[in-house]
A = this chain, B = another copy of it.
Amino acid sequence: MKASDIGEFALIKRLMDRQDVPDPAIVRGVGDDCAVLDVGEGPYMLIAADMIVENIHFSLKWSSPEQIGSKLVECNVSDIVSMGGRPRYGIVSMALPKDTELGFLDKLYDGVYSACNRHGMFIIGGDTTHGSDIVLNLTIVGDVEKRLLRARDMAKEGDLICVTGRLGGSEGGLRLLLAGTKGDVGPHLDPRSRCAEEGRTIARYANAMIDISDGLGSELMHLCDESHVGAVIYKDKIPLSDPAIAAAGILSESACDYALYGGEDLELLFTVPEDNMEGLREAYEDFSIIGRILSSEEGVAIDENGERKAIGPGYDHFRR
């Protein structure tokens, strides 16, 4: 049996969840956006890692080195922000082809540092080696006050389901690039995480939170699986970005499918008890209510003009 047959999430669970962990400092381990460590009196420490590979996650055909460096950091920051945390430190490992130009690397790091500066984080170490393709790994360390920690398994029946910003732009941009068609490809080449202050403001009112790196549909399914709940979202409530709508128009595709099944929008999906909604609205504006958490028996569905359909699996790095 091939590893690719079982999918990324099952694979991680199978491989990495094999130790009995009697260590009380591990508050959360494999399966969340970040591992959570209780290192003492202060805040929890959050740690996550993300690996990106040339010609899988980025292509030098259309990405500048600055964009690649920035994207590496932004995708990781989003994992920290989605748990209510602040990004603090990064450790970068790189495998590079032997003929890599120093000028290329300098620009890649311009992108890394510009994203670090946007998010107030520092690079504290790394490893460099060579390989046939460019492979970049960022391990990110953040922290979060214990009371602000949010995760994908905290949704409660009755919660309103919300997303920040507008979705589908990254997938729309990728589709345009793959088709060789002109259009706004910025959301794919230069994705931006929500900043820590936004995540933390939301965390004060939300029960569960996850970032949308693999499509709204897929992330909602993770959230519901881990919270042991069901959900319904309303198709006409899903906020679609202008670039997604434009790309879908050009390519005669569905911007809503980009949002549901595309990757790397880096928006936040979160659930809020109805009683907290007024407070959240006063504190934060850039979000939409798209549905409601149900009991687990009701499954995870999308409502289109009153008709409910089950939501299919989203983007899976390992299958695509």
Seen from chain A, the residues whose Cβ lies within 8 Å of a Cβ on chain B are 1-6, 8, 11-12, 14-16, 18-19, 21, 23, 25-26, 29-30, 32, 34-35, 37, 39-42, 45, 47-53, 56-57, 88-89, 91-96, 98-106, 109, 113, 116-117, 122-133, 135, 137, 139, 141, 317-318
A51 and B15 contact, CB distance less than 8 A: no
Which partner residue on chain B sits nearest A45 by CB separation?
B39
Which of B47, B89, B103 is A125 in contact with, Cβ under 8 Å?
A: B47
In the bound complex, residues from chain B placing their C-beta under 8 Å from that of A1 are: 101-103
Q: In the bound complex, how far is the Cα of B130 from the Cα of A317, in angstroms?
A: 7
Which of B4, B49, B122 is A100 in contact with, Cβ under 8 Å?
A: B4
Q: Closest approach, in angstroms, between the C-beta of A31 and any C-beta of chain B?
A: 8
Which of B21, B88, B102, B131 is A53 in contact with, Cβ under 8 Å?
A: B131
- The listed residue with most B CB atoms (<10 A of its CB), out of A88, A135, A317, is A135
A19 and B317 contact, CB distance less than 8 A: no
In the bound complex, residues from chain B placing their C-beta under 8 Å from that of A317 are: 128-130
Given A3-B96, A41-B40, A123-B19, are A129 and B53 also a contact pair (CB < 8 Å)?
yes
- Kindly report how many copies of this chain are found in the complex they form together: 2
A8 and B128 contact, CB distance less than 8 A: yes
In the bound complex, residues from chain B placing their C-beta under 8 Å from that of A29 are: 122-125
Q: In the bound complex, how far is the Cα of B128 from the Cα of A51, in angstroms?
A: 8
Which of B37, B89, B94, B109 is A35 in contact with, Cβ under 8 Å?
A: B89
Which partner residue on chain B sits nearest A91 by CB separation?
B49
Given A93-B49, A113-B18, are A4 and B99 also a contact pair (CB < 8 Å)?
yes
A51 and B137 contact, CB distance less than 8 A: yes
Q: Closest approach, in angstroms, between the C-beta of A125 and any C-beta of chain B?
A: 4
Q: In the bound complex, how far is the Cα of B57 from the Cα of A94, in angstroms?
A: 14
In the bound complex, residues from chain B placing their C-beta under 8 Å from that of A132 are: 132-133
A318 and B40 contact, CB distance less than 8 A: no
Chosen A-B contacts, 22 in total, with CB atoms closer than 8 Å, are A2-B100, A2-B101, A4-B98, A4-B99, A8-B129, A12-B128, A14-B106, A16-B92, A19-B117, A21-B122, A25-B88, A32-B125, A48-B91, A52-B129, A53-B131, A56-B95, A56-B129, A56-B130, A93-B137, A96-B318, A128-B317, A130-B318
In the bound complex, residues from chain B placing their C-beta under 8 Å from that of A101 are: 1-3
B30 and A126 contact, CB distance less than 8 A: yes
- The listed residue with most B CB atoms (<10 A of its CB), out of A3, A14, A42, A133, is A3
A125 and B35 contact, CB distance less than 8 A: yes
Q: In the bound complex, how far is the Cα of B41 from the Cα of A133, in angstroms?
A: 43
Q: In the bound complex, how far is the Cα of B100 from the Cα of A23, in angstroms?
A: 32
Q: In the bound complex, how far is the Cα of B35 from the Cα of A57, in angstroms?
A: 28
In the bound complex, residues from chain B placing their C-beta under 8 Å from that of A92 are: 16, 49
